[in-house]
């Protein structure tokens, strides 16, 4: 008949309804949570910045630890600067771990260095704010009571870079000069007692170490 449309069985209307039902009933794919962790490059640059601050802070430090040094204009600034550098080095050490992964010895050294960097701000804060506020004999007593803590963070700072150098030189993971310059703090600590002022050894040594760890971070950025 005219004006009337006959729809066959299996018409497109039914197919469209079926497609719609299928689309609605299909489970939605789970969305992945965004990863807000710092990438390799950012962690490596944190080591670079930390190394530079560590070197700068130690360069600002007086050549001796005595009462006169406590009134030195950069006394507080130097300790806060190298403490901030130590924390940045520790925060970005994951980038160094990837670079040093082929050497277990170097990774152990990095773990020791991380421990030393994390604990170093405790001693830096005490020297920056506690030492000037109390009598020197009192502060000497405080240091004696905290001798174990000093050993816990000082030895890793000395031994960690030594193990890193051993592993990196063996596996050629870092430029040779970087591996050797990482020993700056250790060499400075050994030579310090034989020099006219203790700072003549340890201060240049820590500055060299700071720039060396910054160079290691730069090498680990890719």
Task: Give pLDDT tens digits along the chain (222 positions).
Answer: 444 444 444 444 444 455 544 444 545 555 655 545 568 889 999 999 999 999 999 999 998 877 777 888 999 999 999 999 999 999 999 999 999 999 999 999 999 999 999 999 988 888 888 877 776 666 666 666 666 766 777 899 999 999 999 999 999 999 999 999 999 999 999 998 888 887 889 999 999 999 999 999 999 987
> How many whole angstroms separate alpha carbon 97 and alpha carbon 89?
12
The predicted pLDDT at position 221 comes to 85
The predicted pLDDT at position 67 comes to 77
The predicted pLDDT at position 5 comes to 46
> How many whole angstroms separate alpha carbon 168 and alpha carbon 160?
12
> How many whole angstroms separate alpha carbon 25 and alpha carbon 140?
75
């Amino acid at each position: 008949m005219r004006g009337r449309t006959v729809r066959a069985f299996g018409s497109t209307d039914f197919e469209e309804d079926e497609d719609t039902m299928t689309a609605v009933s299909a489970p939605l794919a789970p969305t992945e949570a965004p990863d807000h962790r710092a990438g390799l490059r950012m962690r490596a640059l944190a080591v670079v910045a930390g190394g530079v601050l560590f070197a700068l802070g130690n360069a600002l430090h007086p050549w001796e630890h005595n009462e006169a040094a406590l009134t030195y204009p950069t006394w507080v600034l130097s300790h806060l600067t190298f403490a901030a550098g130590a924390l940045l080095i520790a925060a970005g050490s994951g980038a160094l771990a990837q670079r040093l992964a082929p050497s277990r010895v170097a990774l152990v050294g990095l773990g020791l260095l991380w421990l030393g960097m994390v604990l170093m701000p405790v001693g830096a804060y005490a020297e920056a704010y506690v030492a000037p506020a109390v009598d020197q004999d009192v502060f000497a007593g405080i240091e004696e009571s905290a001798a174990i803590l000093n050993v816990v963070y000082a030895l890793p700072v000395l031994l960690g870079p030594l193990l890193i150098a051993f592993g990196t030189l063996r596996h050629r993971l870092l430029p040779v000069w970087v591996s050797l310059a990482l020993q700056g703090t250790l060499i400075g600590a050994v030579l310090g007692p034989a020099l006219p002022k203790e700072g003549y050894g340890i201060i240049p040594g820590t500055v060299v170490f700071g720039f060396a760890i910054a160079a290691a971070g730069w090498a680990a950025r890719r």
